[in-house]
A = this chain, B = another copy of it.
């Protein structure tokens, strides 16, 4: 068989899988942000009708999957697989959201890069001939993340200027072997990049080098330039991380220009909503992709984009033990044509 690998980190899909449907659900802050009209569902109740935030996060994920299934007019049994993960210890957000659906399940941990990782593997599974329809799913929840990584929300901790706000959101994308697009044409797998940043309140700086690394690999492997894309979107670098990536490419004589943005900059109005450096969490890039970005592509606003969410592979334990913050970034190219 002809290899579909081009360069060191990129795979080209021989018959690019199509986005069949997508859905985004969010919470109270997302409902006050500039992308509110792109969500399929917004809840003022951050428990989502449950007794705990963790159960609420699972329920939110269920809603995202159910909405995406509805929009594709599919039953859960018609999916061949689902790739999902989240930020919670042992990824319980995904395990408890999916246990009633009966869909063959591969659990992922890619921190805030999970939407890129799940979309990549879903596309590869279909293009490899192993599946017809696969869902990619992830979520995050401000209150579960604060409790787990920092302080329980009721303590009212102060946030540093470099802090980002974990989105209470979930996104689901269903890919299929056949469909009218957008198509996943290429997948670039990230490597772990750790430049020694130890400030766990500055995720943007910690993850920016991995975004730069993966984007460089993508350009090199596909022999394309930033100008070949209508939009380049990293995930959850926020203001500081976005500017670092911009600086890196400008230094290289390959400025990304106006086409470059970051999901962490799009989800909230940073000033009005007092969001410091922007949004973060698996649910940030997931909901931005599965609302604003994919709808924009379908409407012809952009024809070819790079979606490159980043994850910080730390835990409170690793930080307590003095470790730095390794980052990773998984990129996919989405295009309105199969080229």
A contact set with B: CB distance below 8 Å: 1-5, 8-9, 11, 14-15, 51-52, 54-55, 77, 80-81, 85, 87-92, 95-96, 98-99, 102-111, 117, 120-121, 124-125, 127-132, 189-194, 313-318, 321, 323, 326, 328, 330
Contacts and interface: CB of A to CB of B under 8 A. Distances in A.
Nearest to A217: B104
A139 to B, nearest CB: 14
A127 to B, nearest CB: 7
Given A99-B194, A111-B90, A326-B95, A104 B314 contact: no
Contacts of A194: 99
Contacts of A106: 108, 110, 117, 120-121, 189, 330
**Of A5, A95, A121, A191, which is in contact with the most chain B CB atoms at under 10 Å from its CB?**
A95
Given A85-B109, A106-B108, A129 B1 contact: yes
A80 B321 contact: no
Contact of A132 (B3, B9, B121, B326): B3
A314 B192 contact: no
A108 B105 contact: no
A315 B121 contact: no
A258 B57 CA distance: 44
A125 to B, nearest CB: 6
Number of copies: 2
A180 to B, nearest CB: 20
**Of A104, A313, A323, which is in contact with the most chain B CB atoms at under 10 Å from its CB?**
A104
Contact of A313 (B15, B81, B95, B108): B95
A189 to B, nearest CB: 4
A75 to B, nearest CB: 13
A321 B55 contact: yes
B189 A99 contact: no
Contacts of A316: 89
Contacts of A85: 109
B317 A104 contact: no
Contact of A130 (B11, B55, B95, B99): B11
A300 B318 CA distance: 43
B111 A108 contact: no
A91 B109 contact: yes
Given A5-B80, A5-B131, A55-B321, A107 B104 contact: no
Given A4-B129, A92-B323, A124-B130, 17 more contacts: A4-B128, A11-B130, A52-B321, A85-B109, A88-B315, A89-B89, A90-B315, A91-B313, A92-B317, A95-B192, A96-B318, A99-B192, A105-B191, A106-B330, A107-B109, A107-B111, A124-B128
A179 to B, nearest CB: 16
Contacts of A315: 88-90, 92
